[in-house]
Structure 1
Amino acid sequence: MYFKYSYQSYFMFQLIDCLTWRIQNEIDNILAKPIIPAELYRAIRDSQLVGLSGYSKEGLPVIAVGVGLSTFDKASIHYYVQSHIQMNEYRDCVILPSASKRFGRYIGTCIKVLDMTGLKFSALNQIKLLSVISTIDDLNYPEKTETYFIVNAPYIFSACWKVVKPLLQERTRKKVQVLSGSGRDELLKIMDYESLPHFCRREGSGSSRHSRNGTVGDCFSFDHSFHQELYNYIKEQAALRKPAAPIKQGSFHVDFPEHGPEDVKIAETIESEFQRLGDQNRLSHSLHELKINGD
């Protein structure tokens, strides 16, 4: 009985904290805060690779994330956080209700396909931002992802995953599936070809920018229908809420939540593992150079 009460109390406090965060940061207004000018939003899309590629056979939205090739170097951290939260809110307010109506049943979660192509040691520079984004999701958008599929994983990811996996909560660990290569064959069991992220459509590291019908197939691109619809929706909401006020340029600042001890531990473990692998890589390169010069 005590355990049940404590379990319920935990989620009650978590809900209160989430509502407080939403009120204090005016999250309900964030879909009326466009990132302008459009060129800046395009630059963010080119450096924060994420998009909607389609739907699974069960109707779950398929969110593609280019982890390895995202650089997060075209704007301040506030713009990237703003863009991420806007996509979360658009998913919850527009995409999921639309999917529920389209497939005739309630749909409240999505599938995420994480592309590790291009993952390098320089990813250490992104750990702070990625930790902020993951903490926001954990605290304020929990249980929104059904499964995380990891594809095109290089050795550096495989090495880190072995270290990090035991540190994750069991409920999160169960959701992660590391697929072989591009994961195309496995993903085609749960989604049609047209819903495959572009980086999964060919075996290996290749990708297709255009789909079969000639439209933009790269769901990361600002020119993709998902981002065009999202951006137009935000501009329309801004016009409806403040029709007489000009839209001002500037990021929508959101308070970053403090990292929990588990998040800090995971981030530190990733950093130390990347450092170790980097040292090994440099040592191997130096030995190789010595061998060449010695010959």
Structure 2
Amino acid sequence: MQSTPPSTTGSSAASIRSKHPYKEPKQVEALKNFRALLGPDNVKYDDGELMRFIVARSYDLNGAKTQLLASLDWRAANKVDDLPIPGPKNSNGVMYAVRGWHSVPDANIEAGQPNVPEHAVRLQKYMGGSCLHKWDKAGRPIYIERMGQHNVKGLAKNVTTPELVDYHIRCSEFVHNTIMPECEERFGTDDKVIDKETVIFDCTGMGFHQLHMEGLNMLRSLTDMDQKAYPERLGKLFIVNSPFVFVKVYSMIKKWLDPGVIEKIHILGKDYKSVLLAHIDPENLPDFLGGACTCSHMPGGCVPSVIMNNIKPVSKAPVPDGNLLAVPTYLRPRSSSAASANSIMDFVMPHAQDGIYQMFSTLSHGKPCEYEIVVADEDVEREPEVVIKFRVKGVRAACDGLNFTVARFEFGEKADSGTIVVPTKFYDLSDCPESSEGIEIKFRAKAAGLYVLSWMPENPRGLTQMEYGVSVDGILGEQTTDSS
């Protein structure tokens, strides 16, 4: 799912007043009071940008200020403004198919193109197809996604959440910083603001096989980020060919959404063509959605899809590009963990005690549980020492009648000493280890990227309470509560 982030930090050179003045008394008063609340820094933002945060928080100006400043901090910490995006003055490759724009020629995503990371190419194998396809009658860009064709399980298994977030942000930055200015130039008027996009999700082919919790957790990560950091960038969302299974999916997704976002969503069955054509001219709407466009000059037509076999699979780049969006070093459950389908309970307690976090897990059938340690770009400039601490203890009441096993720990090939294995130690009920016992592993991180911790009880069934901490040169890594 895609929406477009605001160019928050990049707007410092903008005029205080928007090109499109707000005239309603409520808007004028809110902008005046919001600028006063922001103080001298208010000159960094134009009216349109401030109004997006005001509307997102339903005119709660203190809430709007908190959200605006948080988005600034997020963009700075993650170096969002430094991301390379396609545009008329560079040769950067596109992150998905584009059709109908002057700023960037019609193109499909290709491996080996400048500043197209390997994970953006890899995930095309599991995506049902997507394209930024022309514009609607309001002059807004149209993003189309064949959601019903997604291989959700394959995506969750082969693409990490940080990779998907990075891809999502790059696509969004492209729309906001390259396409939106073109829309303004071509279609904008004094009375028409073009700062949002129209989205169409085609659910053709959707089934219960897509109700995969890891995939939904990934979607939730993107949704949460969009609403917190990128408010009011969605114009309308049309969900077409929606089957019964979508009702199940939407009942979960709806809980994550702000009321303002829900109001923009239009769920349509098979009688959707007249609705789309009321908002989009036929020549700008693909024929498979009721329009007249085929984009026959491009491989894959309007919306290329590897899964639908209308375009050849995108090959991986010869040299993998590990240039992930800069994120703080952290540890989280791995989406591709084999334990995800077998864990009865697996979660992380978010509060640390002396730099040690707690993780509880119950596994059946001896399936491994994997955790990711992401080392950020800025942390490897010094080749820092990464310290992983593990302490394990049994929960006596819970393991009544069961033997308790703490298995081996392994790190992936990026660790400079190769795979690190901690020998397994077996405990029975009367000899569960105390929490004071622990193991500490150290290695020098010579490259940014993903390191994997894998552990598994030797016993077919076993309950493990495990405590851990991750630090880089003494700085404790960020923890998450995502489930594996």
Question: Where on the TM-score scale, by shorter chain, does this alignment land: which range?
Answer: 0.5 to 0.7
Kindly indicate whether residue 294 of structure 2 is the aligned counterpart of residue 211 of structure 1.
yes
Name structure 2 gaps, 5 residues minimum.
1-33, 38-58, 86-91, 96-110, 307-318, 329-484
Richer in strand (by share): 2
Match of residue 62 from structure 1: 142
Kindly indicate whether residue 123 of structure 2 is the aligned counterpart of residue 44 of structure 1.
yes
Cα distance change on mapping 1:26 and 1:59 into 2, 3 Å:
same
Q: Secondary structure at the match of 1:51?
A: strand
Cα distance change on mapping 1:186 and 1:68 into 2, 3 Å:
same
Once the two structures are superposed, the pairs formed by residues 1-295 of structure 1 within 5 Å of their partners are 7-31=60-84, 37=112, 40=118, 41-48=120-127, 49-71=129-151, 72=155, 74-105=158-189, 106-123=193-210, 124=212, 125-161=214-250, 165=254, 168-181=257-270, 183-197=272-286, 199-201=288-290, 211=294, 213-216=296-299, 217-220=301-304, 249-255=321-327
Cα distance change on mapping 1:161 and 1:248 into 2, 3 Å:
closer
Richer in helix (by share): 1
What is the TM-score normalised by the length of structure 1? 0.65
- Measured against aligned partners, the alpha-carbon deviations of 1:205-259 in whole angstroms (never above 9, x if no partner) come to xxx9x8165334233459xxxxxxxxxxxxxxxxxxxxxxxx9821413549xxx
- Shift in Å at residue 43 of structure 1? 3.6
Higher mean displacement: 148-157 or 120-129: 120-129
Alpha carbon RMSD of aligned pairs, Å?
Answer: 3.2
Structure with the larger RCO, 1 or 2 (CA within 8 Å, 6+ apart): 1
Name structure 1 gaps, 5 residues minimum.
203-207, 223-246, 257-295
What is the TM-score normalised by the length of structure 2? 0.41
Q: Secondary structure at the match of 1:219?
A: coil
- Structure whose CA Rg is larger: 2
Residue identity (%): 23
Cα distance change on mapping 1:220 and 1:15 into 2, 3 Å:
farther
- Contact 2:227-2:258 within 8 A present in 1 as well: no
- Contact 2:148-2:203 within 8 A present in 1 as well: yes
Q: Secondary structure at the match of 1:62?
A: strand
Distance 2:295 2:169 in 1: 31
- Measured against aligned partners, the alpha-carbon deviations of 1:82-114 in whole angstroms (never above 9, x if no partner) come to 111111101110111101101133410011111
Residue type at the aligned position of 1:18: S
Q: Secondary structure at the match of 2:83?
A: helix
